[in-house]
Structure 1
Amino acid sequence: MTINELRVLYRSERLVEAIVEQADLDGQWVVEFRDNHGGMLALTDLQGEQRYYSDLDSASKSAMAVGFSQVRIESL
């Protein structure tokens, strides 16, 4: 889901957690969100491909752009 789509879910209180997760040992990061039913939603680009970030700060900023004031970090 795109940032704008995820913002709509956040504002309607359907997202409960933002998670920044290390995708691989090369330092790539992904952003996921847990919804209020326990499902996981990945942050994607406009083509529906999961977005990868080269650093933790950029990934965290994207997670917070959805509306969260804090994110959970998971590393390998």
Structure 2
Amino acid sequence: MTITELKYLYHQDLLAEAIIEPSELDGGWVVEFRHKQGGFLMLTDIHGAECQYVDLDKASKSALAVGFSQVRIEAK
């Protein structure tokens, strides 16, 4: 889901938390969001491709842009 779509869900109070996890690429990070009704939603670009970040700060900024004031970071 894109940031815009995730913002909509956040403002509908449907997202529980933002999580940054190591990606399958070495040294990379992905951002996902836990839905309050269960399951996870991955941050994607407008073409549906999973967003990959090499910089943890940029991944955090994308997660915070959805509306959360904090982000959980999973260790590698």
Tell me if TM exceeds 0.5.
yes
| Superposition pairs of residues 45-56 of structure 1, within 5 angstroms | 45-56=45-56
Distance in 2 (alpha carbons) for counterparts of 1:24 and 1:46: 21
| Structure 2 spans left out of the alignment, 5+ residues | none
Which SS does the other structure have where 1:21 is aligned?
Answer: strand
| Superposition pairs of residues 1-76 of structure 1, within 5 angstroms | 1-24=1-24, 26-76=26-76
Residues 4-63 of structure 1, C-alpha deviations (whole Å, 9 max, x = no match): 000000000000100001114621000000001121000000000100001110000000
| Structure 1 spans left out of the alignment, 5+ residues | none
Letter aligned with residue 74 of structure 1 = E
Which SS does the other structure have where 1:64 is aligned?
Answer: helix
Letter aligned with residue 49 of structure 1 = A
Alignment: residue pair count: 76
Q: Percent identity?
A: 62
Distance in 2 (alpha carbons) for counterparts of 1:55 and 1:26: 12
Which SS does the other structure have where 2:58 is aligned?
Answer: helix
